Amino acid sequence: MDNKLLLVDDDKKLCGMLQNYLALENFDTETIHDGESAASKALSGDYDLVILDIMLPGQSGFEVLKSIRETSTIPVLMLTARGEDIDSIVGLELGADDYLAKPCSPRVLIAHIRAILRRSS
């Protein structure tokens, strides 16, 4: 059975590329490109893991993460160009399960996703 992922990132080209790569690894991935609808989508119960960027239109990824953590323990992997230590610390303290800086190898991303899913199952 495929794991269902929600990819929240405003970079549509990157989303398309990652969606194709994740499909090759048997992940069913849906994308969303703004922060405003991301939390409700993540909380729908349809997903096994959320991949979340920080810099989003509408609401930041940090705000989305706070909303998710109010009611859910769904695994969240922050994947963002903001690679400063303070950003990763804030993300992890707000409840992210992992934090990866862009750019990263798709193979590294897959390894992190699989590790999180193993821990959360």
Q: How many CA atoms lie within 13 A of 7 on its CB side?
A: 26
Beta bridge partners of 30: 6
Cα 33 to Cα 17, 30, 89, 116: the distances in Å are 14, 10, 24, 23
pTM: 0.94
Give the model's pLDDT for residue 114.
Answer: 96
Contact call for residues 76 and 97 (beta carbons, < 8 A): yes
SS3 28: strand
Give the model's pLDDT for residue 82.
Answer: 78
Structure tokens at 76: 């969240």
Give the strand pairing for 3-8 and 98-101: unpaired
Q: What is the pLDDT along the chain (121 residues), one digit of tens a residue?
A: 589 999 999 999 999 999 999 999 999 999 999 998 999 999 999 999 999 999 999 999 999 999 999 999 999 999 988 778 888 899 999 999 999 998 889 999 999 999 999 998 8
SS3 84: coil
Give the model's pLDDT for residue 85.
Answer: 86
Give the model's pLDDT for residue 3.
Answer: 93
